[in-house]
Structure 1
Amino acid sequence: MSPNYKVPPFDAELGATLGALGDLIGPTLTPDMIKGMRETLVAPPIEDLLAGRPVTHFERTIPGPVGAPDLIVSIFRRVDHVPGGPGIYNIHGGGMVMGDRFLGADSLVDWVESLDAVAVSVEYRLAPEHPDPAPVEDCYAGLEWMAANAEELGVDPQRIVVAGASAGGGLAAGVALLSRDRGGPSLAGQLLIYPMLDDRNETVSSHQFDGIGVWDRTSNDTGWNALLGERRGTNQVSIYAAPARAADLSNLPPAFIDVASAEVFRDEDIAYASTIWMSGGEAELHVWPGGFHGFDIFFPQAALSILAREARTRWLRRALGA
């Protein structure tokens, strides 16, 4: 931690849980830990999550980017789904180096059930084995497939939101930029949950959280180095890999951006919302006081987590007209 910065406090309820969480994952990820964390950070079986709920799940193999392998997507739909409804294209988190399409699926299934949305969650290739641009191009290919097959999926192609948390939020922002610049699918919104946006890692908040919390400064270095290699921090990094580098955020779909006050991504996410407004765009920004990175995933029953999840669902309902 830099001696020049004090650290804002954790929420009392959430802070009390950090010790137990540290025993599970710790604040810091180094390159030698990636393999072990991939084995640790595994979502519960999807069958357990769906048990007793009126939501179906099936998989499809779809074309990947040109010259790349096919992709697997998971599709979630209510059993009584009314065709022509909203769609949510989901990109999972995991620091660009871990996780799978079921990470964070509890929120996704909640949205499917409450909004009668069809959700598609993509299994993209991970760094460092597959560095940039593989992850964002995989995610964009999945969005193109969803839009092209909207009728078959029971989705209105004009009512698709791209969503993601952490690295998935960064990739969702990159996909929105790619879709704008390539004339791709029209998006009704972008839901960016504490997104990972800036490879430079030089904000105040990126210095404040070093060795504390969840996903600290060193972890951020690990993820970005895996994704970008020697290009990191240079002018060879594209805005699609690190959306915080984009100076022009005009002509993008409305954004929901949230972040916690006690995490590395706080300042870059606030800056991203400010750049959207500066570019004449629409963004709703929430900074959850005392939250740490991923607080709502690790402790969904905490009061702050409930508030954060409710805010996202309210925004989705408005953005999708659900």
Structure 2
Amino acid sequence: MSAELGVAPIVSATEEHVLPVPGHPDARLRVYWPTDVRAEAVADGGLPVLVYFFGGGFEIAGIDWVWWDASFRERARDAGIILVAGEYSHAPEVTFPAQPEQCWSVFEWAATHARELGGDPNRMAIGGGSSGANLATATALMNRDRANRPVRLQILEVPLLDLTTRHLDLDGVEPGIPKPLFRHLAGIIVRQYVGRSRKRRRDPYASPLLAKSLKGMPPTVIWTAELDALRGDGEAYARALSEAGVPVSCVRMIGQNHGSGGFRHHVPAADHLHRDIVATLRTLHDEPVVYPEVAR
């Protein structure tokens, strides 16, 4: 399919690492630099660093998938950043909480080694798409709870954030897909990842939208799609962040579905999404805007 769509990775410098994750399978990552030359280690300054997690319903895809690999290379080049793509184990062979712990290990490694990569640990961002956005948000929560490293930005594309599925907006499902069937399929994905325990589904590292508090989360930009039931998750999360005093923006792509963003050069909205994400990432080169705190 990638060949039919004309997806071909550009040449860029990369480097791979495998990290031990105590009590869970190892985590693999790939570092992408914005040019075909690896950046030198720096003592001060350096490029912004984005830690990103791919989507695939917790069950498929990975950093070797041609579409994701090509996307990582282009985003690093166009935004002028270092991108660290983390890989996590697939369900149902491996289940929660292994995946967020693996992603946390990838983020910690990237923050700790940022200077060695030619990056700036004070210009870090976390991002992900779909199930990867779930894990990115869980990682940001873990960072707030465990280390509180500075994170300048969180970017979430069509995120899945509530595994109880009560925030699904089934009015957004594309015509022709019966709502009971969609809910059944969503339930299968959830069960394969977290099991049947309702308590586990409500764990904030499984369903970040249900965290008791979102105070202290990084400034966030969210993209949802009109013809996607997960627009309910992303937009509810934007409201929850705003209520917690976190700077947040949420953009709904009209007429688009969950996978539209993958069809660059074929769907105008996909090309705009790429430009929008790149422009957002390029703000990491600037000094952050400090917004007045609003009493809630």
TM normalised by structure 1 equals: 0.78
Counterpart for residue 86 of structure 1: 48
1:168-183 correspondence to structure 2 within 5 Å: 168-183=132-147
Counterpart for residue 294 of structure 2: none
Counterpart for residue 68 of structure 1: 24
**CA shift at 1:49, angstroms?**
3.5
Structure with more contact order per residue of length (Cα contacts < 8 Å, sep ≥ 6):
1
Mapped to 1, the partners of 2:74 and 2:222 lie a distance apart of 19
CA contact (8 A) 1:228 1:237 kept: no
Counterpart for residue 100 of structure 1: 62
Counterpart for residue 262 of structure 1: 227
CA contact (8 A) 2:125 2:151 kept: yes
Cα offsets for 1:215-255 (capped at 9, x unmatched): 943332222111111114x4763111111112421111110
Counterpart for residue 305 of structure 1: 270
**CA shift at 1:203, angstroms?**
3.6
CA contact (8 A) 1:247 1:275 kept: no
Counterpart for residue 248 of structure 2: 283
2:205 paired with 1:228: no
Mapped to 2, the partners of 1:116 and 1:109 lie a distance apart of 10
Mapped to 2, the partners of 1:172 and 1:236 lie a distance apart of 17
1:21-170 correspondence to structure 2 within 5 Å: 49-51=8-10, 53=11, 55-64=12-21, 66-77=22-33, 78-80=35-37, 81=39, 84-103=46-65, 104-170=68-134
Corresponding letter in the other structure for 1:87: V
Identity of aligned residues (%): 26
CA contact (8 A) 2:31 2:85 kept: yes
Distance 1:189 1:204, change over 3 A: closer
Corresponding letter in the other structure for 2:28: I
Cα offsets for 1:257-314 (capped at 9, x unmatched): 0110110101121010000000001111100001100211145531111222221111
Which sections of structure 1, spanning at least 5 residues, go unmatched?
Answer: 1-23, 25-42
Mapped to 2, the partners of 1:134 and 1:172 lie a distance apart of 14
CA contact (8 A) 1:95 1:220 kept: no
Mapped to 1, the partners of 2:93 and 2:200 lie a distance apart of 22
Distance 1:59 1:236, change over 3 A: closer
Mapped to 2, the partners of 1:111 and 1:89 lie a distance apart of 12
Which sections of structure 2, spanning at least 5 residues, go unmatched?
Answer: 288-296
Mapped to 2, the partners of 1:284 and 1:177 lie a distance apart of 18
TM normalised by structure 2 equals: 0.84
Structural RMSD (CA) = 2.4
CA contact (8 A) 2:225 2:231 kept: yes
Judging by fraction of residues, say which structure has more helix: 1
Aligned residues: 273
Mapped to 2, the partners of 1:224 and 1:255 lie a distance apart of 25
User: SS of the residue aligned with 2:196?
Assistant: helix
Mapped to 2, the partners of 1:203 and 1:146 lie a distance apart of 32
